[in-house]
Chains A and B, each alone.
Chain A
Amino acid sequence: MINPQQHILHRGITSIQGPLVFVRNAEGVGLYDRVEVLVKDGGESRIGRIVSITGEHIVVEVFQGTEGLSLGESRLRLLSEPILLDVGPGMLGRVYDGIGRPIDGGPRIAAHERLRIDGEAINPIRREVPSEFIETGISAIDAMNSLVRGQKLPIFSGSGLSHDRLASNIARFARLRGAKEQEFAVVFAAIGVTFETAEHFRREMDEYGAMERIALFLNLASDAGAERLLTPRVALTTAEYLAYEEGRHVLVILTDVTNYCEALREVSSSHGEVPSRKGYPGYMYSDLATIYERAGRIKGRQGSITQVPILSMPNDDITHPIPDLSGYITEGQIVLDRDLERRGVFPSIELLPCLSRLMNEGIGKDMTHADHPAFAQQLYSSYAQAHQLQLLSSVVGEEGLTANDRRLLRFGERMEREFIHQGNERRTLEETFDIGWSLLSSLPDETLVRLSDSQIGEHVAPRRDV
């Protein structure tokens, strides 16, 4: 616990600018060390950290806002340690605020250990390549963009799309194939989302009796902006404890990463840093990486951390810096589409821009099905052609298409209605395969170039109408 000898009470605040407090230099404090800000004697205390040391000044970033602070009355307690989180048994089934303090009226977490919330990079040599297929029960993911344990696979969405429902379905449905009830846990971090969104997720989990496997971290839209920089880190530190100490397989849902990036931009601009694209700081890639890269498996350790971050693309623009930089770090992405949503397709997953980079590690012989890779390739290839033809037919009309093209067009429509669309039903992988092969059987052999003759013979030909 905190050793009172270790900290220094400091009175010399010289300036307050936005979330930053400048104080005269002090001995013995280090970069990123934790700071407690006392608004006034005996008053509330807020949390901050030292972000730079300039010779004359120490610059402190205050995570819960600087409202009410004053040069004369406020004081800082400089602690020579980084921001730590108490972790211990009984962290599941609880609700915490955005910096990890229980807010459900329950007891404090009996600290078993105190962990740095920044985490540290996993030594690449100690990483286990993620390869265990997770059946999410969602066809567009399981068959086409398979998720494996230890992967980070974000959902790229937009305001008003059904990403929350998709995420809670994944949390409810996900299981390993052929395994019994797992040591499975969900860490849900609400970053600057509305109370309604957070409450909806909580209620949904409660309804399915899943609450005791969940740790909820809530930084709501009404909470301080800069605190959002801590929420994902606190949540991931908890996840690391659950995974690596308690041996659980943890699914981490972070929503919404866009709010996190906005907070990062706000703090960066108050530092007067040179902005990069759209005003976001140049180090946003590295900063996001310190969050996303905490997914993974470690050799010789039981548990795993799988991340499904949700981010809303500003203006549905996938080239916006937030989805763009995320896509460069994460191992693929699931992209939702407004047009599909409008047409009542749920989940409204737009297949073409989706990708799972680790898919090939987890599918195929002995894992899902020997023909799974070719199956996914063929569906993708045919669906991409159908997509092209859709654009084409909107210009030249269906009459301008050949008979084969019209068949492909039908196939594309059925993909959306029958394969991608599944409502709130959970589908087994076998059910998904069955639907997919049936759809492919509506196409002639000559267009199924990604399938071998034997694959056609085994799966496609028997499903053809005689």
Chain B
Amino acid sequence: MTARAEVFWINGPVLKARPEGNFQMKEAVVVGEDRLTAEVIRLDVDSITVQVFEDTTSLKPGVLIEGSGLPLAVDLGPGMVGRMFDGIQRPLETIASRQGDFVHAGVDIPNLDREQAWPFQPEVAEGDEVRSGQRLGVVQETPSLANRILAPRDVEGGRVTWIAPAGEYRLDQPIARIRSEQGECEVAMLRRWPIRIPRPVKQRLTPEQPLLTGQRVIDTLYTISKGGAGAMPGGFGTGKTVLQQTLAKWCDADIIIYIGCGERGNEMASVLEEFPKLEDPRTGRRLMERTVLIANTSNMPVAAREASIYTGITIGEYYRDQGYDVALFADSISRWAEALREISGRLEELPAEEGYPAYLPSRLAEFFERAGRVTTLAGMESSLTVMGTVSPPGGDFSEPVTAHSRRYVKSFMALDRTRAQARFYPAIHPLLSYSEYVENSARWWQQRGGGVRWAEQRAQILELIQEQARLEKMVKIVGRDALPASQRLILVNAEVMVEALLRQSAFSETDRYCSPDKQIAMLRTVGDFIARAEQVVKDGIDPDALLALPVTRRIRRMGEDIPNEKPELFDELAHDLDTAFAALVPATQAATE
């Protein structure tokens, strides 16, 4: 018999009820005739406390809560890619077709469509031995994505007694039967998994490959690895969301999970409009064909916001288990933390820092730790990368969500208001950011570039930026003209390098994605400029005169002017650089001639 409870206490999304029967922590329950989805978050002798994932307006005391005996879970199977779901994985399209333009409480629909049939292609034969997590067959979920249907967890060493022939099947129809020590079980494409429990893997590995993003400042300076975790804090207007979306568009993962957690409705609408039009530069397919969207906008129920990142990461793990490299983007972690705080406040828990509950750091840790490179149960290597934006109040990085996120991520991209105000994007502050994945990337770039001195060049850039910051402080006291030529040269080099490499427009069709080859060419061009500049300044040329050269202007604009497909233009640029610099005549010499 399912447990029931009668509501007697209502405070926003939090309810208390008198139970009859046995409830368990984190059990999924439904509330009232409208069947609102909710979850048990506290148990006492004579009352249970639940959080409701939908609007509780007009909810009356006395309504009944019905237990399910199971934790809050999501559907896993074909039909997620290209769709947008709410925080507890209900398809927003279906909600719209039932309810119209606005979202109301009480829509009782399955998460994944049970009616739709999917073309299943078996990959095992009757009598085959199967292992947990092994491929049983495949469904072409979108033209660019094969959803691999895996054997469930508990059939290790079993045998296939029946496999469905190729054909169309609904999600809950059996596609195989497997006999193992546990007996014979029927397997369908559809699986359920509790969102708060990480899916099992055979082994966790350390990240190795870089996740290439096509963004120079990230790929070159603050790289992130496949299976790594990163945070992107910044005050409002520093370009977090645009950067996050840019990464979701151009990074070289197989599957993208994009979670709009407590953010703007118009932003989700623009992702929905834009992604189907954009092309993946590697596969030539539409970006939407590899993207799953989760949306809990800032005016949608707050408890579902708390759940949304778990829903997203569980879906991410599902594709990871199929052997894919998955990248998850959560915008923003702060809104999730605030949802946690709001619920905690309504439970009258003792607050820790800034009103956040004391368990904020452990929840953050649990979430970021679900990222990783793994060996799946069936022995495939795959990864789940997690990137979260953080919205610190007042842009203050010492606040709890930023401070605690920092403890669990290895790539930290601090966004800077001053850069954003000058419309210098991505506004990643090169001195406040860091990445612990640089060694992984160095190995990759070294191989890729055929011995390019990537690590050295990166170090040179960082040193230049550091020097620039130091000299700018001096300029503030004595003025630029008072600096010796050698120091003004550093400022010139830094200015050119920063503008040429680190600035990249997300809205420029040529520059929004920068291929690895183009990055190598640009890095080389800037290196050439610096080397030549040092030479000519030694010969007596005034460093500021270099800024006036047309070729310098071309270098500063090369990202926008030279497309990925025309690497030969870089050779031309290098040639013109040589010519222009060779033609320079030192001022002293000019006077004597």
Q: Please tell me which one of the listed residues B10, B95, B481 contacts residue A401 in the complex, with CB atoms under 8 A apart.
A: B481
The size class of the interface chain B forms with chain A is 35 or more
Determine whether A201 belongs to the interface, using a CB cutoff of 8 Å to chain B: no
Give the CA-CA distance A274 to B348 in the complex, in Å: 8
Q: Please tell me which one of the listed residues A29, A321, A352 contacts residue B422 in the complex, with CB atoms under 8 A apart.
A: A352
Determine whether B269 belongs to the interface, using a CB cutoff of 8 Å to chain A: yes
B475 touches A380 (CB 8 A): no
Determine whether A123 belongs to the interface, using a CB cutoff of 8 Å to chain B: yes
A283 touches B394 (CB 8 A): no
A282 touches B423 (CB 8 A): no
Q: Please tell me which one of the listed residues A301, A352, A361 contacts residue B101 in the complex, with CB atoms under 8 A apart.
A: A301
Determine whether A273 belongs to the interface, using a CB cutoff of 8 Å to chain B: yes
B11 touches A126 (CB 8 A): no
Task: Give the distance to chain B from A419, nearest Cβ to Cβ, in Å.
Answer: 16
Q: Please tell me which one of the listed residues B342, B348, B421, B561 contacts residue A282 in the complex, with CB atoms under 8 A apart.
A: B342
Give the CA-CA distance A119 to B102 in the complex, in Å: 9
A273 touches B422 (CB 8 A): no
- Which residues on B sit within 8 Å (CB–CB) of A25? 61
Determine whether B587 belongs to the interface, using a CB cutoff of 8 Å to chain A: no
B237 touches A327 (CB 8 A): yes
Determine whether B432 belongs to the interface, using a CB cutoff of 8 Å to chain A: no
A290 touches B265 (CB 8 A): no
In the complex with contacts A30-B58, A273-B345, A324-B236, A286-B299 CB distance below 8 A:
yes
B422 touches A120 (CB 8 A): no
- Which residues on A sit within 8 Å (CB–CB) of B477? 395-396
| Contact indicator per residue, chain B 264-279, by CB within 8 Å of chain A (1) or not (0) | 1110111011000000
In the complex with contacts A30-B60, A53-B10, A120-B104 CB distance below 8 A:
yes
B480 touches A400 (CB 8 A): yes
Binds A, one of B218-226, B372-380, B548-556: B548-556
A381 touches B422 (CB 8 A): yes
Determine whether A298 belongs to the interface, using a CB cutoff of 8 Å to chain B: yes
B264 touches A331 (CB 8 A): yes
Determine whether A446 belongs to the interface, using a CB cutoff of 8 Å to chain B: yes
- Which residues on A sit within 8 Å (CB–CB) of B434? none
B476 touches A384 (CB 8 A): no
In the complex with contacts A121-B102, A283-B302, A328-B391 CB distance below 8 A:
yes
Q: Please tell me which one of the listed residues B302, B354, B475 contacts residue A392 in the complex, with CB atoms under 8 A apart.
A: B475
Question: B424: nearest residue on chain A (CB-CB)?
Answer: A381
Q: Please tell me which one of the listed residues B102, B420, B552, B553 contacts residue A123 in the complex, with CB atoms under 8 A apart.
A: B102
Q: Please tell me which one of the listed residues B56, B59, B338, B553 contacts residue A285 in the complex, with CB atoms under 8 A apart.
A: B338
Question: A380: nearest residue on chain B (CB-CB)?
Answer: B423
Give the CA-CA distance A301 to B476 in the complex, in Å: 55
225-241 of chain B: CB within 8 A of chain A: 235-237, 241
A290 touches B299 (CB 8 A): yes
B345 touches A282 (CB 8 A): yes
Q: Please tell me which one of the listed residues A30, A277, A321, A353 contacts residue B421 in the complex, with CB atoms under 8 A apart.
A: A353
- Which residues on B sit within 8 Å (CB–CB) of A377? 423, 505
B10 touches A274 (CB 8 A): no
**How many A-B residue pairs lie within 8 Å, measured between CB atoms?**
233
B297 touches A358 (CB 8 A): no
- Which residues on B sit within 8 Å (CB–CB) of A333? 237
A33 touches B58 (CB 8 A): yes
A121 touches B556 (CB 8 A): no
A28 touches B341 (CB 8 A): no
In the complex with contacts A273-B345, A283-B342, A405-B480 CB distance below 8 A:
yes
Question: A126: nearest residue on chain B (CB-CB)?
Answer: B101
B266 touches A296 (CB 8 A): yes
Determine whether B466 belongs to the interface, using a CB cutoff of 8 Å to chain A: no
Task: Give the distance to chain B from A321, nearest Cβ to Cβ, in Å.
Answer: 7
Determine whether B395 belongs to the interface, using a CB cutoff of 8 Å to chain A: yes
| Contact indicator per residue, chain B 466-505, by CB within 8 Å of chain A (1) or not (0) | 0000000001111111100000000000000001000001
Question: A403: nearest residue on chain B (CB-CB)?
Answer: B544
B479 touches A401 (CB 8 A): yes
Q: Please tell me which one of the listed residues A80, A277, A293, A299 contacts residue B298 in the complex, with CB atoms under 8 A apart.
A: A293
In the complex with contacts A52-B11, A120-B103, A282-B355, A446-B547 CB distance below 8 A:
yes
Determine whether A424 belongs to the interface, using a CB cutoff of 8 Å to chain B: no
- Which residues on B sit within 8 Å (CB–CB) of A28? 60
A402 touches B481 (CB 8 A): yes
Task: Give the distance to chain A from B38, nearest Cβ to Cβ, in Å.
Answer: 14
A125 touches B93 (CB 8 A): yes
9 contacts between A and B (CB under 8 A): A33-B58, A53-B9, A120-B102, A124-B269, A124-B297, A273-B345, A293-B299, A332-B237, A396-B478
Known: A54-B11, A296-B266. 11 other contacts (CB 8 A): A31-B56, A31-B58, A123-B95, A124-B268, A286-B262, A286-B298, A333-B237, A353-B421, A357-B241, A384-B423, A405-B480
Interface residues of A (CB under 8 A from B): 25, 27-33, 52-55, 80-82, 116, 118-130, 150-151, 273-277, 282-283, 285-286, 289-290, 292-294, 296, 298-299, 301, 319-321, 324-325, 327-329, 331-333, 352-353, 355, 357-358, 360-361, 373, 376-377, 380-381, 384-385, 391-392, 395-397, 399-402, 404-405, 444-446, 449, 452
Q: 3 shortest A-B CB distances, which residue pairs?
A: A400-B479, A384-B422, A319-B394
